[in-house]
Chain A
């Protein structure tokens, strides 16, 4: 029986010719990731083992969730992470001022290549599938153990084949594509499975679209999402200085899929996920003037340069509605700087938006934009669970940067076409 892309990567990393669905395997890992929330307990677990780190070049530590530190408690956690990084001379520790949101930062830093396995103590580690890598979220104990062993255990997943065809319409981007998929299969529709993308529609997608799509594979319950390599992938890797050898992975023709989803990009529209599950999807145009208090544009899902370009396109020459706080967070320092050079930051500030240094802050209700009782936000982040961005009785609506920016201008949830004719 043939293998999927994910299965091939797992077979290679476990020293086998092939793997079957359901096999429990011990696999090598190419990169480990932890942040300021999951890193400290991962370090504590690692210390219990009493061995040295397996490879100081293959551990990435990124204080991005509550950092720059929001209070004394988070400062203590970041210090724990920093002290460990210095003690073990961790090559890829990213300090405030050089740091960014982990899943935007690591690909941009050239730390991800096709065919590699990355485990991260953060559920959105699945983002790296955009580069034909197997990225998947695990817990801090997994990362702590792997810091010593360089290995982890996996159950070989089944797969869903997602066939993308056609061209995306004007205001449709990666976020609308993945929200459409989650709306169709539900928040556990890909549970324990890999989402394997294929089809001629892929050529139409930018790398930013692909990162956004893979990023939210977890919101369908997926173990990972993965794209094949094409010219855009190769160009990205070159630009990012990835010079180590890598091998692109393609699915076998007779690979087995649990189901096949056909997504015709031409038919998609801007989508909004209503509270309190990402599967509650509706066309933005049918949102019927739901009034908002806040619009957040950023995160590991939608904080890339292209996302900011889309927000700037909408906000240029417009003002944020008087009743709305619009908070825009470039995902990395490099993105921030480029956005400045391109005039996006001027556009944001002129429109009346707040612009922040990179942080996950508001996405998880950490800081930098917490919602009060009864408040409502539209956000380009990835989760709209109860209490996710603040008070347990606040609401989060998920959307693309186009839609979040248009809603910020109008003061209610709207299709981007309402602002940009």
Chain B
């Protein structure tokens, strides 16, 4: 079961991981600053398999892949949003962090809800509310990258 961390619209990569820390090459160390400028309670309290749920345009701004990486390093199982900024979306896929774009259905999910998510079928159960949201599964090509554990493994397997 996964606990929900709930955020609003236009969460940009500068708040997901501020550029002032990008001289830190060690991603585990960097991850201690995840979400710091918007939610100081996130990094110390997030648990393995927790889920981030957000509004429109999650991950807008910089192309820094450090943003999905630090969330993955903190144990985030997947990110569910109304919509994603495109570079963040492809970066997440490329590192094997599932991202589900579900439009306005996202409004049914609140902070602290408990979710059971099947990222491949796209089925999201809000356990404490007894609600199930059906969304589109990941496109086949994207699923292949996810299955391989990310783009690098996918490219290695291909050649």
- Residue numbers of A with Cβ under 8 A of B are 24, 37-38, 40-41, 45, 48-51, 65-66, 70-71, 73-74, 76-77, 80, 120-123, 125, 137-142, 144-145, 148-149, 153, 187-188, 191-192, 218, 221, 223, 277, 364-366, 370, 383, 385-388, 390, 392
Contacts A383-B14, A385-B14 given; does A45 touch B152 at CB 8 Å: yes
Q: How far is the CB of A22 from chain B (nearest CB, A)?
A: 9
With A48-B156, A73-B23 as known contacts, state yes or no: A38 contacts B63, CB within 8 Å: yes
B152 contacts A188, CB within 8 Å?
Answer: no
**B38 in the interface, Cβ–Cβ < 8 Å?**
yes
- Choose one: B20, B61, B141; the contact of A123 (CB below 8 Å): B61
Q: What total count of A-B pairs have CB within 8 Å?
A: 136
Partner of B155 from A24, A125, A149, A387 at Cβ < 8 Å: A149
Q: If the complex has contacts A49-B152, A148-B155, A387-B14, are A188 and B65 also in contact, measured as CB distance less than 8 A? A: no
Q: How far does the Cβ of A78 sit from chain B's closest Cβ, in whole Å? A: 10
Complex interface: chain A residues within 8 A of B65 (CB): 38, 41, 121, 139-141
Q: Which chain B positions have C-beta within 8 A of A187?
A: 10, 57, 60
B104 contacts the other chain (CB 8 A): no
- Is B90 interfacial (CB-CB < 8 Å)? yes
Could you show 17 A-B contacts with beta carbons less than 8 Å apart? A50-B156, A65-B19, A70-B23, A73-B25, A77-B23, A142-B151, A145-B151, A145-B155, A149-B155, A149-B159, A188-B83, A218-B61, A218-B87, A221-B57, A383-B61, A385-B12, A385-B14
Count of chain B residues near A, Cβ 8 A: 39
Instruction: Tell me, yes or no, whether B116 is within 8 Å of chain A by CB.
Output: no
- Docked complex Cα distance between A238 and B12 (Å): 39
Which residues of chain B have C-beta atoms less than 8 A from A144's C-beta?
A: 152
The reply to whether B14 and A141 contact each other, CB–CB distance below 8 Å, is no
Q: Which residues of B contact A (CB under 8 A)?
A: 10, 12, 14-15, 18-20, 22-25, 37-38, 56-57, 60-66, 83, 85-87, 90-91, 94-95, 139, 141-142, 150-152, 155-156, 159
Q: In the complex, A142→B145 CA distance in Å?
A: 12
Contact B23 A139 (CB under 8 A): no
Complex Cα gap A66–B22 (Å): 9
Also in contact, A365 and B152, with CB within 8 A (given A138-B87, A153-B141): no
Nearest Cβ distance between residue B91 and chain A, in whole angstroms? Answer: 4
Known contacts A49-B156, A76-B25; A24 and B139 CB within 8 A of each other: yes
A43 to B133, CA, bound (A): 40
- B87 near A139 (CB under 8 angstroms)? yes
Q: Which residues of B contact A123 (CB under 8 A)?
A: 61-63, 87
18 extra interface residue pairs, beta carbon distance < 8 Å, beyond A142-B151, A383-B62: A38-B65, A48-B152, A51-B159, A73-B24, A76-B25, A77-B25, A142-B91, A192-B86, A221-B86, A364-B19, A385-B12, A385-B14, A386-B12, A386-B15, A386-B37, A387-B14, A388-B14, A392-B18
CB-CB nearest in chain A for B22: A37
* Chain A residues positioned under 8 Å from B14 (CB to CB): 364-365, 383, 385-388
**Cα(A149)–Cα(B66), bound, Å:** 23
Give the complex CA separation of A169 and B85 in angstroms.
33
A166 to chain B minimum Cβ distance, whole angstroms, is 31
Question: With a CB–CB cut-off of 8 A, which chain B residues contact A41?
Answer: 25, 65-66
CA of A317 to CA of B64 in the docked complex: distance in angstroms? Answer: 41
Contacting pair B87 A385 (CB below 8 A): no
Query: CB distance A49 to B83 under 8 Å?
Result: no
Tell which of A66, A221, A387, A392 touches B23, judged by Cβ atoms closer than 8 Å: A66
